[in-house]
Structure 1
């Protein structure tokens, strides 16, 4: 494949034997989903690639490494959820997964919706991916380039100062996490 950018030749990795070996090691062919650590993408029936997300945070509940994009790709398939963000919270000498959800207008985080979210994650990812807590938020903090800031939310939750607040497009969104009662139980 050739790029119009300075005639740069791009290796068509997705058609090579190496990619096929790579894919067989890291994909679920029945779901047509590839997930490798943090990047998560779907390959459509027409061969297009949809990137679900990427993050700098890794969750490690019970010593099992989980990429947050694996959770996001399940949760954000639900009509009620506009966007989500999850963190690993230090808890009882381990890490527990906390999922924050920004819901679409007209929806509230009921017990039924929480059960639906957990079921979607359990069946689409694994029981290890299911968050201990799900909390509704009014905004998701992000950088000026649009990337959600999981590490900043985790720092706020753990009482640590947030560095580089100046890169945030909406630093006020962090305020809702400061004294969140749901996170102390």
Structure 2
């Protein structure tokens, strides 16, 4: 029985040695084919070498990387011609990757309050204007509800908050009190800002 076990172990060792030798021969043959493929003058021959069954995975990957590098378009070293505009760059960036619906929803949820707040601020922010003639007996209403009558002279700056049928609603800053509001005729204002 021991002789039979010894024969099996010897056959197993011989088979393992043959497998090792076969692997070394395959790696050597693959390295030779890879060197021949890399030395090929045309890209067509290099591409055809990718189908060679002798090449190992590692050598096939090296050849693929080499072909990919050689087929890559040349990069420009400096600015040639016109650069792309911002909108064109954004369109290219968006076309290169698909938008995740979750990202779109989160972006909309974040953008909606910002756009709403900006719109409300723009609507409720007045525009500066200069009086182009003297306006007499302008009734200014203070924040506490009291009124005062004032003559606004030519060249005074006011903030226009809206137009109505009776005139233009303006505000003027009063130190320590706040904004006084009044309605004046359109002819008192100069549209030039």
Normalising TM by the smaller chain, what interval? Answer: under 0.3
| Structure in which a larger fraction of residues adopt helix | 2
TM-score (norm 1): 0.24
TM-score (norm 2): 0.24
